[in-house]
């Protein structure tokens, strides 16, 4: 029986989809591409923005055009938060919450095509167990889930409502999975979760304890995904600065460069803490790449507060931005706040910060020109080039050679020809 998957949202979602798909393949299902004719279509959803409903409707209509008799299953964060809203979308047969999606194989055996979608979900308050996952199918890179849920109460965020409380895998299990992935040919592992800086095992081992154990593993590259600024300690920075396993790349949410807005968001730091952290990273780790998340248009973000954010970002040594326009979400504190920012202004502010991101990224790339870096090459693109990333997350392209695929290769970084620095050319050494 053919089955197809589509993932919306973050790397954590991607790792879970891949893990579930692999389980089904091992039990007789044949995975096909989502745009192909399939007997079953599975959509793993996101809840970060209010576009979830639109995206879900679009995808359901799309797959039913491909096969009107197909079973359609919607699962994940949106299914956990708003199952009854999804139930109104014509053509869906089964809705699974965040706990139930890991039992997809069982539910496929028990449920056929339905006129009315069946909802199966555990209440978020009861999501206590950690469900492990890691991505398959790409020998170059695997996303390894080490943590789930979040105990923070940021006023704009619904993720704790969909994912539940903070919970983590055990260190011995994570090390075992890394060894397994390494033996399968994976060259880079990305540690993922909802709030991985808050990693804590049942016997009170913290993130630094996990990182120390991983650092003992050789011949693998390990990247840390997004981590909260208040949870990056000097001990973590010192370990990564000396490591041959961890790469010099951090992605650190800021969300706003205005202390007033940070307080309204209930973030656990102010701009001074963040600025000091960026200084420490740059002083201790040579050529470190620092990515930053920012939200524009949060309620009460006046022109002056936005200017504070813009000025703050201009004056700190970072490498690129991920910019998000604030999205009103039900059951959050922020939706009750006054002084909503018009959509048009949100879009304008987003454009301003994206332009700043391009400049920051181009400057960062230029600062690395002439350096010799180890690049992990991935696969050939149609343009005759092969692409890969340095340890500090610079995208490199060079003329295709088949012996470079899924290999580490020393490369001299050359000039960036594009006005927007999305890629640098590399000379094989």
Q: DSSP of 30-71, one letter per residue?
A: EE--TTS--SEEEEEE--SSTTHHHHHHHHHHHHHHH-TT-E
CATH class held by domain 372-428 = mainly beta
Token representation of residue 259: 């202390």
Where exactly does CATH 3.30.750.210 map onto the chain? Answer: 127-247
CATH class held by domain 249-357 = alpha beta
Note the pTM of the prediction, 2 decimals: 0.94
Q: What is the pLDDT of residue 422?
A: 78
Q: Are 133 and 306 in contact (CB under 8 A)?
A: no
Token representation of residue 182: 């390494």
Q: What is the pLDDT of residue 418?
A: 66
- Which CATH architecture group holds 2-122? 3-Layer(aba) Sandwich (3.40)
Q: Are 287 and 248 in contact (CB under 8 A)?
A: yes
Residue with tokens 């524009």: 296
For residue 119, give the H/E element and its range.
strand 118-120
Where exactly does CATH 3.30.750.200 map onto the chain? Answer: 249-357
The Cα–Cα gap between 237 and 211 comes to 11
pLDDT 10s digit of each residue in the chain, 429 long? 999 999 998 899 999 999 999 999 999 999 999 999 999 999 999 987 777 778 888 999 899 999 988 999 999 999 999 999 999 988 999 999 999 999 999 999 877 777 789 999 999 888 889 999 999 877 799 999 999 999 999 999 999 999 999 999 999 999 999 999 999 999 999 999 999 999 999 999 999 999 999 999 999 999 999 999 999 999 999 999 999 999 999 999 999 999 999 999 999 999 999 999 999 999 999 999 999 999 999 999 999 999 999 999 999 999 999 999 999 998 999 999 999 999 999 999 999 999 999 999 999 999 999 999 999 998 767 788 999 999 999 999 999 988 999 999 999 999 887 655 579 999 999
- Fold classification of 127-247 (topology level): Transcription Regulator spoIIAA (3.30.750)
Instruction: List phi, psi (to 5°) of 246.
Output: -80, 145
CB neighbours (10 Å) of residue 341? Answer: 20
């Amino acid at each position: 029986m053919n089955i197809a998957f589509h993932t919306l949202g973050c790397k954590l979602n991607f790792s879970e989809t891949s893990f579930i798909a692999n389980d089904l393949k091992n039990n007789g299902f044949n995975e096909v591409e989502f745009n192909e004719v399939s007997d079953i279509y599975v959509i793993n959803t996101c809840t970060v923005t209010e576009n979830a409903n639109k995206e879900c409707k679009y995808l359901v209509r799309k797959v039913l055009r491909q096969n009107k008799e197909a079973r359609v299953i919607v699962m994940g964060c949106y299914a956990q938060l708003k199952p009854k809203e999804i139930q109104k979308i014509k053509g869906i047969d089964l809705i699974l919450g965040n706990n139930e999606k890991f039992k997809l194989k069982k539910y496929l055996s028990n449920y056929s095509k339905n006129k009315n979608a069946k909802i199966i979900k555990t209440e978020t308050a009861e999501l206590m167990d950690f469900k492990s996952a890691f991505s398959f199918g790409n020998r170059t890179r695997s996303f390894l889930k080490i943590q789930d849920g979040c105990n923070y109460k940021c006023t704009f965020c619904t993720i704790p409502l969909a994912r539940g409380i903070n919970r983590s895998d055990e260190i011995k299990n994570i090390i075992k999975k890394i060894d397994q992935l390494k033996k399968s040919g994976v060259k880079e592992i990305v540690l993922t979760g909802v709030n991985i800086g808050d990693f804590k095992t049942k016997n009170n081992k913290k993130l630094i304890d996990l990182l120390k154990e991983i650092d003992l593993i050789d011949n693998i590259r390990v990247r840390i995904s997004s981590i909260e600024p208040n949870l990056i300690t000097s001990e973590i920075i010192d370990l990564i600065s000396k490591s041959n396993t961890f790469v010099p790349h951090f992605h650190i949410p800021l969300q706003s460069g205005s202390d007033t807005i940070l307080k309204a968001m209930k973030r656990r730091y102010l701009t001074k803490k963040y600025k000091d952290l960026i200084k420490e990273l740059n002083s201790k780790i040579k050529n470190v790449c620092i990515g930053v998340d920012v939200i524009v248009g949060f309620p009460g973000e006046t022109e002056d507060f936005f200017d504070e954010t813009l000025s703050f970002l201009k004056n700190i040594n970072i490498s690129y931005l991920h910019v998000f326009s604030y999205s009103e979400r039900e059951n959050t504190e922020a939706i009750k706040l006054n002084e909503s920012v018009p959509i048009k202004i949100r879009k304008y502010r987003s454009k301003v910060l994206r332009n700043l991101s391009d400049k920051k990224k181009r400057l960062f790339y230029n600062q690395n020109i002439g350096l010799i870096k180890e690049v992990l090459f991935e696969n050939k693109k149609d343009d005759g080039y092969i692409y890969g990333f340095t340890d500090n997350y610079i995208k490199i392209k060079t003329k295709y050679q088949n012996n470079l695929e899924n290999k580490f290769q020393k490369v001299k970084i050359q000039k960036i020809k594009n006005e927007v620095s999305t890629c640098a050319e590399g000379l094989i050494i």
